[in-house]
Amino acid sequence: MGKLQCVVLDCPDVMELARFYQVLLGGEVNRPDPRWSTGRGWATLHTETGVLCFQRAKDYQAPQWPDPAYPQQFHLDIEVPDLAEARERVEAMGGTLLRKAGWLVMADPAGHPFCLLRS
């Protein structure tokens, strides 16, 4: 019936989050695309495998994983060759570790959880 066009993340600072995910996934921030206009409240990241969009949300409240009073809203699973190296890079960019299991549950600078899994 259809195909995924993009995933949109609410956040307080669209460029900060777009750049965070650009370092994590590669791609181009705000590449011209007739589907979206970019500006103060909207940014895009075109990656090799898809598009993430970032939308400024007034009075944004970050998820508090795993607290259901502040739901995670979404999460991404991202494969990496080396978990320790990926964790170090994510934390250097402002991400935080939420949980360590056989994989890592991390949060981006706006508090969205995502998982780093060994490829």
Question: Given a cut of 60, is residue 1 above it in pLDDT?
Answer: no
Q: At what angle do helices 83-92 and 14-25 cross, to 10 degrees?
A: 160
Average pLDDT value over all residues in the chain: 91
Name the band, by pLDDT with cuts 50, 70 and 90, for residue 65: confident
What CA–CA distance (Å, rounded) separates 13 from 109? 9
- Structural domain of residue 110, as residue ranges? 76-118
Is pLDDT above 80 for 92? yes
Task: Based on the fold, state whether residues 87 and 50 are members of the same structural domain.
Answer: no
Whether residues 48 and 80 fall in one domain: no
Looking at the whole model, is its pTM more than 0.75? yes
As a whole number of angstroms, the distance between CA 80 and CA 89 comes to: 11
| Six-digit token string for 57 | 């949300």
Is the residue at 66 inside a domain?
Answer: no
Amino acid at 87: R
63-101: burial string, b at 16+ Cβ within 10 Å, e else = bebeeeeeebeeebebebeebeebbeebeebebeebeee
pLDDT tens digits for 40-51? 899 999 999 999
Choice among 2-6, 21-25, 57-61 with the minimum mean pLDDT: 2-6
Question: How does pLDDT run across 96-111, given as a tens digit for each residue?
Answer: 999 998 899 999 999 9
Q: Is residue 28 part of a domain?
A: yes
Averaged over 77-105, what is the pLDDT? 94
Name the domain count of the chain. Answer: 2
